[in-house]
Amino acid sequence: MKKIAIIATGGTIAGSGHMGKTTNYKAGTLSVENILASIPDIKSEFDISLFPLLSVDSNEMNITHWIALKKKIDEISSEFDGIVITHGTDTIEETAYFLTLTINTDKPVVLTGAMRPATATSADGPFNLWQAIHLAGSSLSYGQGVLALFSSTIYSARDIQKISNYKIDAFEKANTALGFMKDDEIFFSSRQMKKHTTSSIFSSMDLSHLPEVDIVPYYAGADSYLLHTGAKGIVVMGTGSGNFSMKWKKEIETLQKEGKFFVRSSRVIDGIVFGDEVFDPHHIMIPSLTLSPYKARILLMLGLAYTNDLDKLKEIFVQY
Ligand code: SIN
């Protein structure tokens, strides 16, 4: 029998509210035992151990929680065939990306959650958890980096992004799935090409002093004083292909000479932000490529803990 660890952190999957209703509930109130109890026969198929780490709405997650999760995974991974993490959907993509960059194991690690609380009619949590356990127990998931499972769809930690705050299928974004599940059957159709887990330079690095990195959104008429956050790194969430005004360009040039680091990203969900000869002729900004601003922040934090060399940071953004 495959050995699976479930690390619980809270979220809507562990949420409770008015019986039957999908709204006006409190996330992270039920234990993972309660959710497992609603999955018939799971304990006769898998040897499951529970690790209740946190019981929070994922909007309470922070770097300290991420590091605690990474440490827990590194500590227990040798004893299990796979690990499932239950998590709120709001920031699951950030936790997943941090973990895929920092954990030191090739064993399957699968995050899942739910859009409906456990007390709703047709709660989606039990089915997502059931599929996530099967995915984590499969040798097909070995070496794939951290995965996320929602509504029968398998995502990489790097590409998963919540795109609906309303639909059950809250993560479905064109061309980002690594594969699909039909009940407990697994169909991988692609692989994550970027570095992760045991091939990541961050998986063996001391993470106790990560530099501060902020995300600053540009919007029509935004004042450049917003760029003065005091953080060492700033991810500029530009418009279109990562754009902003001339005033912001000048301010960024000045701040970069003072030792700040800038990533150029976009508020547009689909597409890519490349380096640009015209927009950034001195190449002082790091293009986010296909990373969302939220994930670019995590990579810049880890990157700046590793090096202050701008060219090396650009290379890290290409590799990860
Ligand atoms: C949360 O992220 O904890 C609340 C929302 C959710 O899980 O869907």
CA distance 88 to 128: 13
- For a ligand 1 pocket test, name from 24, 59, 111, 163 the mutation site with the most ligand atoms within 8 angstroms of its C-beta: 59
Does the domain formed by 213-319 have CATH 3.40.630.30? no
Q: Which residues line ligand 1 (CB under 6 A)?
A: 11-12, 27, 57-58, 88-90, 113, 115
Tokens of 267: 């508020």
Average pLDDT over residues 251-271: 97
Q: Please check the confidence at residue 86 and state whether its pLDDT lies above 80.
A: yes
Measured CA to CA, the distance from residue 222 to residue 90 in angstroms comes to 26
* Pairing assessment for the beta strands 261-266 and 109-112 based on DSSP bridges: unpaired
Query: Residues with catalytic annotation?
Result: 12
Q: Best substitution site from 9, 57, 61 to test ligand 1's pocket, by max atoms within 8 Å of Cβ? A: 57
Domain with CATH 3.40.50.1170 in the chain: 2-199
pLDDT at position 63 is: 97
Closest atom of ligand 1 to 12 CA is 7
Question: At the fourth CATH level, which superfamily is domain 2-199?
Answer: L-asparaginase, N-terminal domain (3.40.50.1170)
| CATH 3.40.50.40 residue ranges for the chain | 213-319
At 22 the pLDDT is 84
Computed over every residue of the chain, the mean pLDDT equals 96
Q: How far apart are CA 103 and CA 101, in angstroms?
A: 6
Residue closest via CA to ligand 1's atom 7 equals 88
The b-or-e profile of 208-245 (16+ CB within 10 A means b, else e) is eebeebbbbebeeebebebbebebbbbbbbbbebbbbb
* Tokens describing residue 2: 């495959």
Structure tokens at 97: 């990306």
Distance 66 CA to ligand 1 centre (A): 16
Q: Tens digits of per-residue pLDDT, 89-142?
A: 999 999 999 999 999 999 999 999 999 999 999 999 999 999 999 999 999 999
Token readout for 123 is 């709660």
Contact 99, 146 (CB under 8 A): yes
State in Å: Cα 88 to ligand 1 middle: 4
User: Residue 24: pLDDT above 90?
Assistant: no
Signed CA dihedral, 311, 213, 115, 113: sign only:
positive
Residues 150, 113 contacting (CB under 8 angstroms): yes
DSSP strands (E only) in 161-319: 177-182, 185-188, 213-217, 233-238, 261-266, 285-287
Say what the pLDDT of residue 153 is: 97
Q: Which of 151-160, 171-180, 217-226, 282-291 shows the lowest mean pLDDT across its residues?
A: 171-180
Confidence category of residue 172, pLDDT binned at 50, 70, 90: confident
Phi, psi dihedrals of residue 285, rounded to the nearest 5°:
-110, 150
Q: Which pLDDT belongs to residue 6?
A: 98
Are 192 and 291 in contact by the 8 Å Cβ rule? The answer is: no
Mean pLDDT (whole number) for 251-269: 98
Q: What is the pLDDT of residues 180-224, one digit of tens each?
A: 999 999 999 999 999 999 999 999 999 999 999 999 999 999 999
* DSSP states of 180-199: EEETTEEEE-----S--GGG
Instruction: Inform me whether the pLDDT recorded for 174 exceeds 80.
Output: no
Predicted confidence band of residue 156 (pLDDT cuts 50, 70, 90): very high
What atom in ligand 1 is closest to the CA of residue 15? 7
* pLDDT tens-digit readout, 264-313: 999 999 999 999 998 899 999 999 999 999 999 999 999 999 999 999 99
